[in-house]
Structure 1
């Protein structure tokens, strides 16, 4: 905001210097013997009227007491030509006074009003954009913070059991949890992260969830395309994967959860499919939950008009497909 105000002040200075140069050049071409004093007198009158009204508008913007404002405007109109009379070397000439009263003063009253309205419009637009940006950022922070705490508690209990049994998988589980927490706390604060890092986060999550199952890996993950050159908003897929675990049967066979990630040109497709438990403990989109409603809100904020989220159920399986287009478009253009 201060930067914009400095730009306005610099613009005022440049415009007035250019205007002074043009007036002096015109008076010099007209062979006016007193062109220097005439220029100084005319510019002084213009500055007096312009900035007195400019700051008067600042004082009375949005106020209901219009009577005082118009009284002060009348005072500016009556005293406006006085600087011209003070600076000019000629003796007092009533013609000069009335000429400036009729022509110059109203003109610069209007120009000062136009300048104030323009500045207010620009500053108010910037303030509105900043407030909207802060609201969006606060909403995104809130949505990203809604990772299920039960997962963390369950994982710690599972690791505690592994440590108690002195299982060889305990150190690796601790490393997966550390990597997952490091990503959630530090790396996910960025606007976008490399897709490869987001997929590493998902794989750490899958590895920790696998502690619940004695079978071979229950998640079948397929990745197609070049992930190194692609960036994505962080923590965008975790809710979809978490829901797949939550609404699947308690016992999962190897490969029951299927996850596809495909990158084709500037389009990313993420699909997760899981079997549906016959008697789910909770509704798929429970009120206040962190599943699909969370993902829909974040997508609306991050990729407006650039995504599709399709949900399909066959009665036995539940499939969610997320497609994001224009991933190479800069964030400020989105």
Structure 2
């Protein structure tokens, strides 16, 4: 905000210097003998009228025009021509001079610069209010985005801790690996996900840690078939975005899953990312929505996509009754091109 105000001050300075130069050049051409006092009086009158009214409008900004405002405006209006009349070189101070130049100045210069000062004040107020509104919208969007990212399904954490406790109690050889996966997962959620974007490789590692911990619930072969096509190192993505789709796939699948029942496909192209996931529908739940408190649903993903990838994504949902699928395509994910700050404009 201070930077914008500084720019306005520089604009004022530049305009007045340019205006003074043009006036002095014209008056010097007309009459070289009196151009300096004439220019001084004219510019002082313009400055006085302009900035007196400008300050008056600033003083009464956001208020209804009351009696005090109009009294001060009248004072500016009638005293505005005085610098020009006083400094005029021809028989200054005489009554004839006053009667000759005062009405002319009163009816020409004063109204013009009163209007220009009002126009400048309105323009600056409009620009500053627009910037303030955008800043407030950005803060609100950042707060909402932080809230959406911080939503963690407590059931997953509780179940994972219980599963690790069981492994430790049984002294299973997979217990240390499970602890490391949980530590990596929590570190990513708490520390690494604060950036607007992260390397896709890190997000995929996070998904793999999540899959590994979920696999503790199943005794058979891995129930998730994860395939990656392309080079993840060339992409960046908003953190903690894909995990919600994977979490919902687990939540709404049957209790018993065959190996490879949940299919996850990641495809990286020149400047886009496609994420596809498909899971069998559970017999007790046909809708892909989280209804339990603290859960993460597709609404979360949709809101984040609107905030972070406006007009740069496509989200398709397919429900055949037996299977549920989500196809997400995000454009502008190339690591060397995609150096974005979070986009928080309203669309």
Q: Which residue is 2:34 aligned to?
A: 34
Q: Relative contact order, CA 8 A, sep 6+: which one is greater?
A: 2
Matched, 1:301 2:315: no
- 8 Å Cα contact 2:211-2:224 kept in structure 1: yes
Q: Give the TM-score normalised by the residue count of structure 1.
A: 0.93
Q: 1:203: Cα distance to partner? A: 0.7
SS at match of 1:61: coil
| Among 150, 154, 165, the residue aligned to 1:160 | 165
Corresponding position of 1:254: 259
* Alpha-carbon shift at residue 304 of structure 1 (Å): 2.0
Shift in Å at residue 292 of structure 1?
0.8
| 1:78-118 superposed Cα distances (whole Å, 9 cap, x missing partner) | 00011223444441222222221111111111110111111
Tell me how far apart the structure 2 counterparts of residues 121 and 22 of structure 1 sit (CA, whole Å): 29
Q: Is the 8 A contact 2:248 2:290 kept in 1?
A: no
More off after superposition, 179-188 vs 18-27? 18-27
Question: Aligned pair 1:204/2:209, yes or no?
Answer: yes
| CA distances 1:258-294 after superposition (whole Å, capped 9, x unpaired) | 10011122221111111122124x9531446421111
SS in 2 for 1:311: strand
Q: What are the superposed Cα offsets for residues 174-197 of structure 1, whole Å, 9 maximum, x if unpaired?
A: 221111111111111111111111
Q: Quick check: 1:225 aligned with 2:230?
A: yes
Deviating beyond 4 angstroms after TM superposition, the runs of 4 or more aligned structure 1 residues are none
Whether the 8 Å contact between 2:307 and 2:342 is mirrored in structure 1 is: no
- Is 1:240 aligned to residue 249 of structure 2? no
Mapped pair 1:126 → 2:131: yes
What is the CA distance between 1:316 and its match in structure 2?
1.9
Runs of 5+ unmatched residues, structure 1: none
Counterpart position of 1:105: 110
Distance 2:187 2:2 in 1: 36
Deviating more after overlay: 31-40 vs 209-218: 31-40
8 A Cα contact 2:23 2:39, kept in partner: yes
- Structural mapping, 1:41-190, within 5 Å: 41-90=41-90, 91-92=92-93, 93-94=97-98, 95-190=100-195
Mapped to 1, the partners of 2:204 and 2:272 lie a distance apart of 16
User: Could you tell me how far 1:333 is from its partner in structure 2?
Assistant: 10
Task: Answer yes or no: is the 8 Å Cα contact 2:249–2:279 preserved in 1.
Answer: yes
Distance 2:341 2:123 in 1: 25
Q: Distance in 1 between matches of 2:254 and 2:227?
A: 22
Residue 228 of structure 1 aligns to a residue whose secondary structure is: helix
Residue 296 of structure 1: how far off its partner (Å): 1.2
Q: Which residue of 2 aligns with 1:323?
A: 329
- Give the Cα separation in 2 of the matches to 1:333 and 1:130: 13
Q: Distance in 2 between matches of 1:333 and 1:219?
A: 31
Match of 2:288 in 1: 284
What is the distance in 2 between the residues matched to 1:65 and 1:9?
26
- Post-superposition offset of 1:165: 2.3
Distance in structure 2 (CA, Å) of the matches to 1:15 and 1:65: 28
Query: Over aligned residue pairs, what C-alpha RMSD do you find?
Result: 2.0
Q: Secondary structure at the match of 2:266?
A: strand
Maintained 8 Å contact 2:229/2:266: yes
Aligned in 2, Cα 1:17/1:221: closer, same or farther, shift over 3 Å?
same
Between 1:312-321 and 1:192-201, the stretch displaced more is: 312-321
Structure 1 Cα separation of the partners of residues 25 and 112 of structure 2: 21
In 2: Cα distance, 1:290 partner to 1:275 partner: 19
Cα distance in structure 2, aligned partners of 1:331 and 1:86: 60
